[in-house]
Structure 1
């Protein structure tokens, strides 16, 4: 290769390398403009970059440029070069009628070089020659090469800038981010947050293996997660551990770990971690408050039992004394007795919640005839209402193992709700049937129903839907009922449509279940 040609190619390559340090497209295209002047033995040059509305804006001009280039004309040579992507060589400049575009006073020849790459048009470089110039095939190829390599440099600069911005963002984020090799487990990237969380300088962290920065006791569990990820690449695992800290005894830390797509092998693991010490403290405080609340409910419920029993005794005594004819006294005594019964039921519900939360809700299992149990409950509740009619359909043969008092509590609660939430009266249908070793009891009412938006919460503690806020209660009955049914090895669910009523289903195993 001719020495001068080799020098020109070397200069172009060096320009491309130098452009990586430039901070803008203007600097890059300016650098290549000056290189173009040198390798083509030109006198001066300037460059256009595509700006707003695809109009060309002057991006660079040589220090010795003798005039101020006017904006390119629409449909002019610059736009022609943009469209064809082929350099335009003006061998002999003609005089223009418009003095703004008449450059014949300053040059004899010029070349316009398009700067484009992969359909992206960045602009044009213009190299000017004071004296007449012809262009060899080699020089024409060199011009095309100059435009192409300038475009590649601008593209790389954009990618490099995006990558640097992304890396800076990662470094600034409060989360700790670590990327490590899935084969050697060596850390390839760690941001400032990771260095701070692990209490290891960032430059030292990049030379270590991921297992070396984790506590000894957590490594086996961590490796098991990595093995699972390699088997199921689409999963994300959560890994919690306590990391040593200079300020505190340890830092509760949570990491999300997943495999990331890369073109190289081996694959890379991404870890995103954060200090969750504050959250852990809050969780412990919440658990402590919940325990204190349950203890309070338990103690308060026990303490309320005695005065409630006393009040009920006095109310019954007043009722007996008022039988002689004092109607007003009898009315008030009856009211006191009724409200005391309600209060006693609420206290029992609170006690049951405390037992459930403490895992102390005991069952006294016996053989139960469900038909007789539901017949007895229905007849008892029928006495409390004249607007509703209880209908029992079907039969369960034999016995069901369970606690009769607790199951009576479940069915009484569901049937009482059926009365309460059917204010206009109507039928309440109780269906009994058996299949595949289970007994199913379905209780249907035709009352207000449960809105869809509330159906997921219906078994939650203290929940009452807004459409039933007019009906008093603590919202504990269904929560307690579900726990009782579950402890019998059974299941409870419902079907409901607002305004059409509700059907509750209870399934119980017909043989003894260890719970």
Structure 2
């Protein structure tokens, strides 16, 4: 059994190493291509015709999409390893307030109400703040995308035993079971999504982050009744040593 576990760990580390190397190697020529595209758009080396401008604009959009894919792959690679986390104590209500503030203008534009439900004095959680912000941003962004004007998104936090349970609840369109069962798979995109919505790695990264922190993430949803994504995090123990490492 120990031999199998060691082999699986070595294979996982090799996969991470290869993925990181390939992703970084792809970013270098892609950055060079983007610089050339921006020079063309600024017409530094000659004026573009309308047809040429359309082509270059398409090139820029595709290059930006490739950059986003590579960034997602790097995030997915890092998310599964806690050694990349710098853990800090944070109050749950502060995490929710900060997340709400980041989406204030988007919700105003879309006429969506955002509320917070969290009892005062909740115990702190020890988290990598930038990674937890990624989790909230991804879940809230999905909620905004599928919630119609006049709808509500509710951010929740409550203590349950030795766990803190967070939730992002919306009054959107919801989803059928066949979509819900695949949501956390790599590169899964629900039918009908626009190309600009990404390549289906966001929720995979969310799951990797929460799993690496010792928690779980789940979704409850049905068509026409909105969706609730909730995840748990272990509460800080008084005798638990602080761990810190590189921020990414």
TM-score normalised by the chain length of structure 2:
0.69
C-alpha displacement of 1:368: 1.6
- Structure with greater strand percent: 1
Q: Do 1:382 and 1:389's aligned partners in 2 also have CA atoms closer than 8 Å?
A: no
Q: Do 1:427 and 1:446's aligned partners in 2 also have CA atoms closer than 8 Å?
A: yes
C-alpha displacement of 1:301: 2.2
CA-to-partner distance for each residue in 1:182-217, whole Å, 9 max, x for gaps?
Answer: xxxxxxxxxxxxxxxxxxxxxxxxxxxxxxxxxxxx
Of the candidates 114, 124, 128, which is equivalent to residue 403 of structure 1? Answer: 128
Stretches of structure 1 lacking an aligned partner (at least 5 in a row): 1-287, 320-334
Please give the secondary structure, in 2, of the residue aligned with 1:301. Answer: helix
How many residue pairs get matched? 215
Aligned to 1:510: 235
Structure scoring higher RCO (CA < 8 A, sep ≥ 6) equals: 2
Tell me whether 1:369 sits opposite 2:91 in the alignment: yes
Q: Do 1:431 and 1:441's aligned partners in 2 also have CA atoms closer than 8 Å?
A: yes
Distance between the aligned counterparts of 2:83 and 2:146, measured in 1? 28
C-alpha displacement of 1:434: 1.9
Aligned to 1:448: 173
Distance between the aligned counterparts of 2:118 and 2:180, measured in 1? 28
Distance between the aligned counterparts of 1:393 and 1:356, measured in 2? 28
Of the candidates 115, 124, 147, which is equivalent to residue 391 of structure 1? Answer: 115
C-alpha displacement of 1:372: 1.9
CA-to-partner distance for each residue in 1:431-470, whole Å, 9 max, x for gaps?
Answer: 2222323222111112232211232222111112225466
Aligned-residue Cα RMSD (Å) equals: 4.0
In structure 2, the CA distance between the partners of 1:424 and 1:468, relative to structure 1 (3 Å rule), is farther
Aligned to 1:437: 162
Distance between the aligned counterparts of 2:22 and 2:155, measured in 1? 36
Q: Do 1:401 and 1:511's aligned partners in 2 also have CA atoms closer than 8 Å?
A: yes
C-alpha displacement of 1:428: 1.1
C-alpha displacement of 1:425: 6.0
In structure 2, the CA distance between the partners of 1:428 and 1:360, relative to structure 1 (3 Å rule), is closer
Distance between the aligned counterparts of 1:419 and 1:506, measured in 2? 18
Of the candidates 354, 364, 381, which is equivalent to residue 103 of structure 2? Answer: 381
In structure 2, the CA distance between the partners of 1:340 and 1:426, relative to structure 1 (3 Å rule), is farther
Distance between the aligned counterparts of 1:412 and 1:467, measured in 2? 22
Q: Do 2:76 and 2:208's aligned partners in 1 also have CA atoms closer than 8 Å?
A: no
In structure 2, the CA distance between the partners of 1:440 and 1:299, relative to structure 1 (3 Å rule), is same
Stretches of structure 2 lacking an aligned partner (at least 5 in a row): 1-10, 43-57, 244-248
C-alpha displacement of 1:294: 6.1
Please give the secondary structure, in 2, of the residue aligned with 1:495. Answer: strand
Distance between the aligned counterparts of 1:479 and 1:342, measured in 2? 18
Q: Do 2:143 and 2:172's aligned partners in 1 also have CA atoms closer than 8 Å?
A: yes
Please give the secondary structure, in 1, of the residue aligned with 2:84. Answer: coil
Q: How does 1:180-259 map to 2 (within 5 A)?
A: none
Distance between the aligned counterparts of 1:498 and 1:430, measured in 2? 21
Q: Do 2:82 and 2:212's aligned partners in 1 also have CA atoms closer than 8 Å?
A: no
Of the candidates 343, 347, 351, which is equivalent to residue 74 of structure 2? Answer: 351
CA-to-partner distance for each residue in 1:480-503, whole Å, 9 max, x for gaps?
Answer: 111211221112111101122110
Please give the secondary structure, in 1, of the residue aligned with 2:200. Answer: coil
Aligned to 1:268: none
Higher radius of gyration, 1 or 2: 1
